């Protein structure tokens, strides 16, 4: 058996006893913005020359280098020792040398729910031509090109500005691209440098842009899938499946693999290509969980910075670590960071006990149920000998006695340590059980269960079922078939799993920015791999996560870009945030799934839940450009020369505390208010030339807020106006966040931004 690589590294160090010796790793050598006067080939040659000078020969450089980033920015990824990386870090022109990191991956009803309907003349779709000629780049697990969602019926040839290409590979030919899928590339050098050659006999995967996982196909079809009638997941969620921009083009960049891993070297290569290829929107449903790296060390932040500088809107998922605070990821101010919300659809089935009591549970199980009643046990009563009561109660892995569980249904209760219905299903299945009832806090996120039925109920129903099992000698249960329920649920709500703010890296930048549907979303799937032994393959699948909410916003952005091609990424984000809704379909304030439920706030949803039709005509936008983002990076205290290389212009950083507060974001977030503070914002009129906007303030509790001027008058020559907002703390309570809003109204538009204030004690007294 081969000894681990780490053993040889340790042995080498001991033998040589040299602190500068080390094993090879993948490093990204970032060199800032590319000189536009240099041809990309010359940039590549310069990278090879620098590496050859370090390693001693052209051949050694060729063997070590993985990628040369030479289109959107300059740099390369290479296999280096730690000491070689350290030497490069001190070389002229090198901004940063960072270790390759591994990042994680994070429909029939959702677009109707958001009132984006291609069958009606109302709304933004006709005006946007269904997103025609907008190009959405998707960084994900690839695509299943044969899916009906990617038909190109009636579409014209790709826009002339498109420079991308389709790269052939395993079961993916150039002919798999069409007028819908106009680009397809795949990136594995960074992955294989970390983990070794991928063995497709052990892992079901394609060495091409073909999707073996389904995640990339799901996100791509959500953003830009064609209309597919009769779509469903085994009869559930039936209807017409479609993407938000059904006539937009797709460019696929496969950076994530069947293991769920996506390396930063591969991701940065995809960003570099996407900038060169000419995408309008980048949809990125992946990221790195906290602790968050500095923006100048985070390749997703670096790649997206250069993309946004070229006018590309970059949309990212907020993460799935909710409902805990400070878990939001992808928090750079130039990104659109998306939280997940629910829609007004669920899937219910009856639970009929032996005493004829009937309850209702949520389930995605669509298989056949036994015609007869089944014995039901409380999990603690069928615990394995070595399991404690808490583990058994929640059906933690290995906690059940397979002899007792065989052929029965098990009632499990969620605990602090084991919250997942999916884990309970796997535990019961391995113990040869035939069904699960999982009692938990209220949530609309339904666990996938394909081989045995799983019914999710709240604690009240679970307790009633428990009372029946303990009071009856031979308790039994029958399950009804799942049915799709539409329009009878309050929605949207912020999903339990959706990561919350504030940003742990830059709390003055409010994150997430916006919420969109991300719970129980039906979209295209790859039929390549069976989703279970009982079901086999499917063409459409229901899935949940901020990975699903991200492409909803990407699709909306494609529509907006079709209508407003000259809008900057900041203007597009502003339109989304300032027109978002903070109320559900019944007019009540949106709530946040948690334990217990509570009223949602900007740390849950940013500006609110997206309203695509209103975003098309926002009236005013809070615009920004690259220089604003550079000033933000200066305010973070990063190296001035590094920032200058990033922006390809000499910067003299003025590190003032208020720089971040005055960043022209469509929000105001003050992480430390001590007494009195004034910040400024500038709005650009994108509506009628002659108009007046009046300020309306909902002040955060305990804070006085004044706006000056409170009336903004625009005309044919005055398109931009600046105003100041002054905050005065009335309470001296340390560490507490309060929420409010500022809305500019002209009788037609209501341009709303969230106000977030954390009051702090301004003075400490010796005798206090």
In a domain, 13, yes or no: no
Look at residues 69, 99, 129 and tell me which one is the last residue of a structural domain.
99
In a domain, 15, yes or no: no
pLDDT of residue 594: 81
- The answer to whether residue 644 is catalytic is no
**Higher per-residue confidence, 35 vs 282:** 282
Mean pLDDT of 371-382: 93
Please name the residues in contact with 202: beta carbons below 8 A apart, sequence gap of 6 or more.
none
Query: Does residue 417 share a domain with residue 451?
Result: yes
Query: Does residue 541 share a domain with residue 458?
Result: no
pLDDT of residue 121: 39
What is the CATH number for 574?
A: 3.40.50.200
Token reading at 215:
């995640």
Mean pLDDT of 623-649: 85
Share of the chain above pLDDT 90, in %: 78
Token reading at 100:
């390759």
Classify residue 378 as exposed, middle or buried by CB count within 10 Å of its CB (0-12, 13-18, 19+): buried
In a domain, 726, yes or no: yes
The H or E element spanning position 561 is: helix 546-563
Query: Does residue 644 share a domain with residue 668?
Result: no
Strand, coil or helix: 236? strand
Query: Does residue 299 share a domain with residue 427?
Result: no
Tens of pLDDT, residue by residue over 487-543, are 878 889 999 999 999 999 999 999 999 999 999 999 999 998 777 766 778 999 999
In a domain, 433, yes or no: yes
Query: Does residue 334 share a domain with residue 471?
Result: no
Tens of pLDDT, residue by residue over 412-427, are 999 999 999 999 999 9
Query: Does residue 329 share a domain with residue 472?
Result: no
Nearest CA among 72, 216, 32, 36 for reference residue 137: 216
Look at residues 478, 506, 535 and tell me which one is the last residue of a structural domain.
478
Residue 357 has pLDDT above 60, yes or no: yes
Tens of pLDDT, residue by residue over 650-696, are 677 876 768 899 999 999 999 999 889 999 999 999 999 999 999 99
The H or E element spanning position 103 is: strand 102-105
Please name the residues in contact with 63: beta carbons below 8 A apart, sequence gap of 6 or more.
none
Query: Does residue 582 share a domain with residue 504?
Result: yes
pLDDT of residue 537: 85
**Higher per-residue confidence, 124 vs 261:** 261
Query: Does residue 299 share a domain with residue 205?
Result: yes
In a domain, 12, yes or no: no
pTM: predicted TM-score of the whole model, two decimal places: 0.92
- The answer to whether residue 384 is catalytic is no
Say how many CA atoms lie within 13 Å of 280 toward its Cβ: 31
Map 578-595 to HEC letters.
Answer: HCCECECCCCCECEECCC
Query: Does residue 156 share a domain with residue 93?
Result: no
Instruction: For Cα atoms 154, 155, 161, give the angle at the middle one, nearest 5 degrees.
Output: 165
Please name the residues in contact with 269: beta carbons below 8 A apart, sequence gap of 6 or more.
67, 69, 77, 187, 189, 190, 255
Separation between Cα atoms, residue 197 and residue 351, nearest integer Å: 49
What is the CATH number for 418?
A: 3.50.30.30
**Higher per-residue confidence, 471 vs 641:** 471
What is the CATH number for 57?
A: 3.30.70.80
Please state the φ and ψ torsions of residue 762, each to the nearest 5 degrees. Answer: -80, -25
In a domain, 10, yes or no: no
Residue 396 has pLDDT above 50, yes or no: yes
In a domain, 104, yes or no: no
Look at residues 74, 99, 124 and tell me which one is the last residue of a structural domain.
99
Query: Does residue 548 share a domain with residue 424?
Result: no
Residues spanned by the domain of 725:
663-767
Residue 436 has pLDDT above 90, yes or no: yes
Write down the H helix ranges in 320-478.
389-393, 402-405, 421-430, 459-471
Residue 462 has pLDDT above 50, yes or no: yes
From the CB of residue 716, how many other CB atoms can be counted at a distance below 10 Å?
A: 7
Instruction: Determine which one of 133, 140, 298, 584 is catalytic.
Output: 140
Q: How many domains does the chain have?
A: 5
Q: What is the mean pLDDT of the chain?
A: 90
Residue 555 has pLDDT above 60, yes or no: yes
Residue with structure tokens 């769920």? 260
What is the CATH number for 708?
A: 2.60.40.2310
Mean pLDDT of 235-254: 94
Would you place residue 368 in the very low, low, confident or very high pLDDT band (cuts 50, 70, 90)? confident
Residue 15 has pLDDT above 60, yes or no: no
Query: Does residue 462 share a domain with residue 328?
Result: no
Tens of pLDDT, residue by residue over 707-760, are 999 999 999 999 999 999 999 998 766 678 999 999 999 999 999 999 999 988
Instruction: Determine which one of 71, 106, 215, 306 is catalytic.
Output: 215
In a domain, 220, yes or no: yes
DSSP state of 395: T
Separation between Cα atoms, residue 755 and residue 743, nearest integer Å: 10
Instruction: Determine which one of 547, 549, 562, 741 is catalytic.
Output: 547
- The answer to whether residue 140 is catalytic is yes
Query: Does residue 419 share a domain with residue 387?
Result: yes
pLDDT of residue 763: 55
């Amino acid at each position: 058996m081969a000894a681990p690589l780490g053993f040889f590294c340790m042995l080498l160090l001991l033998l040589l006893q040299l602190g500068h010796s080390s094993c090879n790793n993948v490093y990204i050598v970032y060199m800032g913005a590319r000189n536009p006067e240099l041809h990309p080939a010359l940039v590549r040659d310069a990278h090879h020359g620098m590496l050859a000078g370090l390693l001693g020969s052209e051949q050694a450089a060729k063997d070590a280098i993985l990628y040369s980033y030479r289109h959107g920015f300059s740099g390369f990824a290479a296999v280096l020792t730690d000491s070689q990386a350290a030497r490069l870090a001190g070389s002229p022109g090198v901004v940063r040398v960072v270790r390759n990191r591994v990042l994680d991956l994070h429909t029939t009803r959702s677009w109707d729910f958001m009132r984006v309907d291609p069958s009606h003349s109302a709304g933004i779709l006709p005006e946007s031509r269904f997103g025609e000629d907008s190009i959405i780049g998707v960084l994900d697990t690839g695509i299943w090109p044969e899916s009906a969602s990617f038909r190109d019926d009636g579409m014209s040839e790709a826009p002339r500005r498109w420079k991308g290409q389709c790269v052939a590979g395993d079961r993916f030919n150039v002919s798999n691209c069409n007028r819908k899928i106009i680009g397809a590339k795949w990136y594995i050098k960074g992955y294989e440098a970390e983990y070794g050659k991928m063995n497709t006999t052990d892992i079901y995967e394609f060495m091409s842009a073909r999707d073996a996982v389904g995640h990339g196909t799901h996100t791509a079809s959500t953003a830009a899938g064609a209309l597919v009638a009769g779509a469903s997941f085994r009869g559930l969620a039936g209807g017409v499946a479609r993407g938000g921009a059904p006539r937009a083009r797709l460019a696929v960049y496969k950076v994530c693999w069947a293991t769920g891993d996506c390396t930063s070297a591969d991701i940065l290569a995809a960003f570099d290509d996407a900038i060169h290829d000419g995408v309008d929107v980048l949809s990125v449903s992946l990221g790195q969980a906290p602790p968050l790296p500095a923006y100048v060390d985070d390749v997703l932040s670096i790649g997206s910075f250069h993309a946004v500088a070229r006018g590309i809107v970059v949309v990212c998922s907020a993460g799935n670590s909710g409902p805990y605070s400070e878990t939001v990821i992808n928090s750079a101010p130039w990104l659109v960071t998306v939280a997940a919300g629910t829609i007004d659809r669920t899937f219910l089935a009856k639970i009929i006990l032996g005493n004829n009591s009937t309850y209702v549970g949520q389930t995605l199980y669509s298989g056949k149920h036994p015609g007869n009643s089944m014995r039901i046990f409380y999990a603690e009563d069928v615990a394995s000998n070595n399991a404690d009561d808490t583990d058994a109660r929640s059906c933690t892995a290995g906690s059940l006695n397979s002899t007792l569980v065989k052929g029965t249904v098990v009632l499990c209760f969620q605990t602090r340590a084991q919250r997942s219905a999916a884990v309970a299903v796997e535990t019961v299945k391995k113990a040869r059980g035939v069904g699960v009832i999982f009692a938990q806090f209220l949530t609309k996120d339904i666990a996938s269960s394909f081989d045995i039925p799983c019914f999710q109920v709240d604690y009240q129903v679970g307790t009633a079922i428990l009372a029946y099992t303990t009071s009856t000698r031979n308790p039994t249960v029958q399950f009804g078939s799942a049915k799709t329920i539409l329009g009878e649920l309050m929605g949207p709500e912020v999903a339990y799993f959706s990561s919350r703010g504030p940003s742990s890296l830059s709390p003055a930048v409010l994150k997430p920015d916006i919420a969109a549907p991300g719970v129980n979303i039906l979209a295209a799937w790859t039929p390549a791999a069976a989703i279970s032994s009982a079901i086999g393959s499917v063409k459409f699948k229901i899935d949940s996560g901020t990975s699903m909410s991200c492409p909803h916003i990407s699709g909306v952005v494609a529509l907006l870009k079709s209508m407003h091609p000259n809008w900057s990424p900041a203007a597009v984000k502003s339109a989304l945030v300032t027109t978002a809704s903070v109320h559900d379909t019944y007019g009540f304030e949106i709530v946040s799934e948690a334990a217990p439920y509570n009223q949602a706030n900007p740390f849950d949803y940013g500006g609110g839940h997206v309203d695509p039709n209103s975003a098309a005509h926002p009236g005013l936008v809070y615009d920004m450009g690259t220089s604003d983002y550079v000033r933000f990076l200066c305010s973070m205290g990063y190296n001035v020369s590094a920032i200058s290389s990033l922006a390809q212009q000499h910067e003299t950083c003025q590190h003032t505390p208020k720089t971040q507060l005055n960043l022209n974001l469509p929000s105001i977030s003050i992480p430390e208010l001590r007494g009195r503070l004034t910040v400024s914002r500038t709005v650009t009129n994108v509506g009628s030339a002659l108009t007046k906007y009046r300020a309306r303030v909902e002040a955060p509790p305990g804070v006085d807020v004044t706006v000056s001027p409170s009336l903004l008058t625009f005309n044919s020559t005055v398109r931009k106006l600046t105003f100041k907002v002054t905050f005065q703390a009335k309470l001296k309570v340390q560490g507490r966040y309060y929420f409010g809003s500022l809305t500019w109204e002209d009788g037609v538009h209501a341009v709303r931004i969230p106000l977030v204030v954390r009051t702090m004690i301004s003075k400490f007294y010796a005798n206090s």
